[in-house]
Amino acid sequence: MTVRTVIAGTGSYLPEKILTNADLEKMVDTTDEWIVSRSGIRERRVAAPEQATSDLATEAARKALDMAGSSAADLDLIIVATLSPDHFFPSTAGLVQRNLGAFKAAAFDLEAACTGFIYALSIGDAFIRMGSYENILIIGAEVLTRFINWEDRSTCVLFGDGAGAAILRREEGGERGVLSTHLHCDGRLAELLYAPGGVSRIPPSHEMIDQKLNTVRMQGNEIFKIAVTKLREVVEETLEKNGLTEEDIDFLVPHQANLRIIQATAKRLNLPMEKVVVTVDRHGNTSAASVPLALDDAVRAGRIKSGDRVLLEAFGGGLTWGAALVRW
Ligand code: ACO
- Ligand 1: residue of 28, 224, 313, 321 to mutate (most ligand atoms within 8 A of CB) is 224
| Pair (244, 116) in one structural domain | no
Percent of the chain with pLDDT strictly greater than 70: 100
Q: Answer positive or negative: Cα dihedral of 233, 235, 236, 237.
A: positive
Percent of the chain with pLDDT strictly greater than 90: 98
Where among 134, 151, 175 does a domain terminate?
175
| Pair (171, 194) in one structural domain | no
- Please give the residue range of the domain that contains residue 231: 178-327
Specify the pLDDT at position 1.
80
Tens-digit pLDDT profile for residues 224-260 = 999 999 999 999 999 999 999 999 999 999 999 999 9
**166: pLDDT confidence band, cut at 50, 70 and 90?**
very high
Ligand 1 geometric centre to CA of 190 (Å): 18
Ligand 1 geometric centre to CA of 220 (Å): 5
Q: Which atom of ligand 1 is nearest to the CA of 227?
A: 44
Tens-digit pLDDT profile for residues 186-216 = 999 999 999 999 999 999 999 999 999 999 9
| Pair (184, 170) in one structural domain | no
Rounded average pLDDT over 261-288: 95
- Cβ atoms of residues 59 and 163 within 8 Å: yes
Q: Where are the alpha helices (DSSP H) in the chain?
A: 21-25, 32-39, 53-68, 92-100, 116-130, 153-156, 206-210, 220-241, 259-268, 280-283, 290-300
Question: Per the residue annotation, which of 114, 135, 149, 182 is the catalytic one?
Answer: 114
* 156 close to ligand 1 (CB < 6 Angstrom): no
Helix (H, G, I), strand (E, B) or coil at 193: strand
Is 285 marked active-site?
A: yes
- Cβ atoms of residues 28 and 192 within 8 Å: no
Q: What is the CATH number of the domain that holds 304?
A: 3.40.47.10
Rounded average pLDDT over 314-318: 97
Specify the pLDDT at position 244.
96
Ligand 1 geometric centre to CA of 170 (Å): 42
Rounded average pLDDT over 140-166: 97
Where among 135, 152, 175 does a domain terminate?
175
- Cβ atoms of residues 93 and 296 within 8 Å: no
pLDDT at 47 over 90: yes
| Pair (150, 42) in one structural domain | yes
* 196 close to ligand 1 (CB < 6 Angstrom): no
Enter the DSSP assignment of 5: E
Question: Per the residue annotation, which of 21, 149, 258, 285 is the catalytic one?
Answer: 285
Ligand 1 geometric centre to CA of 217 (Å): 11
Tens-digit pLDDT profile for residues 13-43 = 999 999 999 999 999 999 999 999 999 999 9
Specify the pLDDT at position 290.
98
Question: Per the residue annotation, which of 156, 182, 255, 258 is the catalytic one?
Answer: 255
Distance separating alpha carbons of residues 79 and 229, to the nearest angstrom: 29
- Ligand 1: residue of 154, 260, 280 to mutate (most ligand atoms within 8 A of CB) is 154
Residue with CA at minimum distance from ligand 1 atom 48: 316
| Pair (282, 241) in one structural domain | yes
Q: Which of 311, 325, 300, 303 lies closest to 67 in space, CA to CA?
A: 300
**173: pLDDT confidence band, cut at 50, 70 and 90?**
confident
DSSP H or E stretch at residue 310? strand 309-316
* 57 close to ligand 1 (CB < 6 Angstrom): no
| Pair (31, 148) in one structural domain | yes
Specify the pLDDT at position 117.
98
Domain count, the chain: 2
- Cβ atoms of residues 285 and 257 within 8 Å: yes
Rounded average pLDDT over 215-228: 95
| Pair (196, 270) in one structural domain | yes
**100: pLDDT confidence band, cut at 50, 70 and 90?**
very high
Where among 175, 195, 216 does a domain terminate?
175
Residue with CA at minimum distance from ligand 1 atom 39: 258
| Pair (40, 165) in one structural domain | yes
Residue with CA at minimum distance from ligand 1 atom 25: 221
- Looking at every residue in the chain, the average pLDDT score rounds to 97
| Pair (160, 191) in one structural domain | no
Specify the pLDDT at position 186.
98
| Pair (170, 184) in one structural domain | no
Q: Which of 254, 250, 256 lies closest to 232 in space, CA to CA?
A: 254
Q: Which residues contact 262 (CB under 8 A, 6 or more apart)?
A: 40, 252, 254, 256, 276, 278, 280
- Ligand 1: residue of 41, 152, 193, 221 to mutate (most ligand atoms within 8 A of CB) is 221
| Pair (199, 312) in one structural domain | yes
Specify the pLDDT at position 90.
98
Out of 83-92, 143-152, 266-275, pick the least confident.
Answer: 266-275
Specify the pLDDT at position 165.
98
* 257 close to ligand 1 (CB < 6 Angstrom): yes
Rounded average pLDDT over 138-154: 97
| Pair (79, 215) in one structural domain | no
